[in-house]
Structures are given as structure tokens and as C-alpha cells.
């Protein structure tokens, strides 16, 4: 039976040019949550806390996966790609050898909320060419049962392939909506026993397995390895991101928006940023 291994309460901070962010996973959790580096729950119902957005900034060595819950964000980057994602949509950016991009909110509903996940690339793929991809609402398969609605963003759920797969790192990402007092009751098959799985509860509350203590949103949870998952929603239901992947089990050298394997690689990236030859 899968149980709660660790609970990550978010820490509020400001990122970008002044966006209110609740950091769930970060630098301190990088090894225990390998290959997931960071999880930010961002946004606000007050425009002053998000409209400044995330102006141009660099990334190298990992992937950013952004899932919008409310509002819209416009992406532009140094490869010439641009796009807009709204509620229930995904942008998946492979920074690879280096990219400079911006993520700027569009004021349409008076509020903006989303989740950004950083997925570390294995060493052999750190310097691949950068790629930007989008996943629209209608492209995400939805599996409905008597207890839940599961949007299969990536990976496979009940024989349904996700709307987008990792180019260099397989990953399961499901957006799960549980009806009140219902249970997400699933079996992890042997080919996924090496995966580490996590939850980010963003609405409502849940209990895991036989632990009676409710875990309330917003909150991150690391799950123990096992074959049976039982997650029960509280009386008002719950919404959570269920995600997992196989660890890279490699050294992690991390400085701001750059994640490599050695300090020497970090120094080189910073020198290239300073010298103007960061982009390959």
C-alpha cells in the first residue's frame, strides 16, 4: 500500500517581476524528489500580484511544465516560438542547451492561477536543442469514473495515452478531480515500480491509505513506493496533480535558472551568459 512519505507545505515568495508564488518543491528537496526540481503554485485573485509576470530570463538543463488553472499566459522565446495557454492547458518547454523566454499574463478574468513543475533532464540530454510545445484543452484525454475525472496530461492512465509525452524523460502527469468522499483507487503495475510519485493538492483535502489525518490544499505530498494507491477526498471533494517519474540518480548542480551536473558546468553557463554566447 502506498503511504505518505513526506508533506511539503508551500512557502510564499515573490518571483519574476513581482508574481506571488507558493513554492512547494525547491532546492532543499532536489534529491528526495529527483527528478522533480521545483513546483510552484503561482498567481492571485489580485492583478497587482501577478500582472508584472515573468519577463525575459534564461534556462538550461531541464524542462518547465506549466499547467494553467485560471487566466492566460503568453509565452515568447529565443527560438522564435510564441503561444498563449489558458485554463486547463499546458506549455512544455525543454530548455536543453539554453533558451531565453518570457511568460506574461494576459488580463482577462481578473485572476490567474497555475502550477509550474521543473523536470530535470538526465545528463546525456542536458544540452539538447531547446523545444517549446503546447497542449490545448481539447487535446488532453479525459477518463471519467463514478468517483473521479482524470485529465491525462502525460504518461498513460487506464490505457489512455496522455496528450503529450516527454521527449527525453517519461513522466506521468494527471489532473485528478475527486467527487466528495470518493476514492482514487489505482494499481501501479510492475513497469512503474521504479517511479517516485507525488501529489499536489490545489483544492479541497484528501487522506492517503489508512492515515486518517486530512491533507489540505495547497500542499505537496511525496508517496512511498508500492503497488496500491488509495486517495480519498474530503466532504467537499478534491483536485490534485498526480505526477511521477523514474529518478535520474545523478549529481545536481543548481544555480538559479541553470541546472547541470557539476559546478564547472554551472560556471561555464554563467560565463556564457555574461559573454553573450549562452544560446547555441
pLDDT in tens, the chain (280 residues): 999 999 999 999 999 988 889 999 999 999 999 999 999 999 888 888 888 899 999 999 999 999 999 999 999 999 999 999 999 999 999 999 999 999 999 866 688 999 999 999 999 999 999 999 999 999 999 999 999 999 999 999 999 999 999 999 999 999 999 999 999 999 999 999 999 999 999 999 999 998 989 999 999 999 999 999 999 999 999 999 999 999 999 999 999 999 999 999 999 999 999 999 999 9
Count of CB atoms within 10 A of residue 211's CB?
11
The pLDDT, as a whole number, for residue 43 is 85
Helices (H), 141-280: 263-275
In a domain, 220, yes or no: yes
In a domain, 207, yes or no: yes
Residue 102 is part of which domain span? 4-275
The model's pTM is 0.96
State how many domains the chain has: 1
3-class DSSP assignment, residue 141: coil
In a domain, 280, yes or no: no
What CA–CA distance (Å, rounded) separates 152 from 88? 11
In a domain, 210, yes or no: yes
Q: Could you tell me the CATH number of the domain that includes residue 102?
A: 2.60.120.10
What CA–CA distance (Å, rounded) separates 186 from 70? 28
**Set of cell numbers at residue 253:** 548542480
The pLDDT, as a whole number, for residue 107 is 66
In a domain, 70, yes or no: yes
| Residues β-bridged to residue 58 | 100
**Set of cell numbers at residue 214:** 486530512
What CA–CA distance (Å, rounded) separates 7 from 32? 12
The pLDDT, as a whole number, for residue 20 is 86
Amino acid at each position: 500500500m502506498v503511504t505518505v512519505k513526506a508533506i511539503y507545505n508551500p512557502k510564499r515568495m515573490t518571483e519574476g517581476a513581482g508574481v506571488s508564488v507558493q513554492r512547494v518543491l525547491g532546492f532543499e528537496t532536489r534529491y528526495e524528489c529527483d527528478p522533480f526540481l521545483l513546483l510552484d503554485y503561482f498567481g492571485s485573485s489580485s492583478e497587482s500580484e501577478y500582472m508584472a509576470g515573468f519577463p525575459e530570463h534564461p534556462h538550461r538543463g531541464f524542462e518547465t511544465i506549466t499547467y494553467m488553472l485560471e487566466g492566460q499566459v503568453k509565452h515568447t522565446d529565443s527560438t522564435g516560438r510564441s503561444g498563449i495557454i489558458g485554463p486547463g492547458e499546458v506549455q512544455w518547454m525543454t530548455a536543453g542547451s539554453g533558451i531565453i523566454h518570457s511568460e506574461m499574463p494576459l488580463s482577462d478574468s481578473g485572476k490567474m492561477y497555475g502550477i509550474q513543475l521543473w523536470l530535470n533532464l538526465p545528463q546525456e540530454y542536458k544540452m539538447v536543442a531547446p523545444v517549446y510545445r503546447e497542449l490545448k484543452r481539447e487535446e488532453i484525454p479525459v477518463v471519467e469514473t463514478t468517483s473521479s475525472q482524470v485529465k491525462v496530461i502525460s504518461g498513460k492512465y487506464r490505457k489512455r495515452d496522455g496528450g503529450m509525452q516527454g521527449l527525453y524523460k517519461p513522466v506521468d502527469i494527471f489532473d485528478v478531480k475527486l467527487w466528495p468522499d470518493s476514492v482514487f483507487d489505482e494499481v501501479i503495475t510492475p513497469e512503474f515500480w521504479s517511479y517516485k510519485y507525488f501529489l499536489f493538492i490545489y483544492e479541497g483535502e484528501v487522506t492517503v491509505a489508512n492515515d486518517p489525518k486530512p491533507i489540505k490544499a495547497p500542499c505537496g505530498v511525496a508517496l512511498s513506493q508500492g503497488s496500491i494507491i488509495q486517495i480519498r477526498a474530503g466532504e467537499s471533494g478534491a483536485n490534485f496533480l498526480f505526477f511521477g517519474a523514474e529518478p535520474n540518480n545523478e549529481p545536481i548542480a543548481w544555480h538559479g535558472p541553470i541546472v547541470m551536473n557539476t559546478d564547472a558546468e554551472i560556471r561555464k553557463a554563467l560565463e556564457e551568459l555574461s559573454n553573450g554566447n549562452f544560446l547555441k
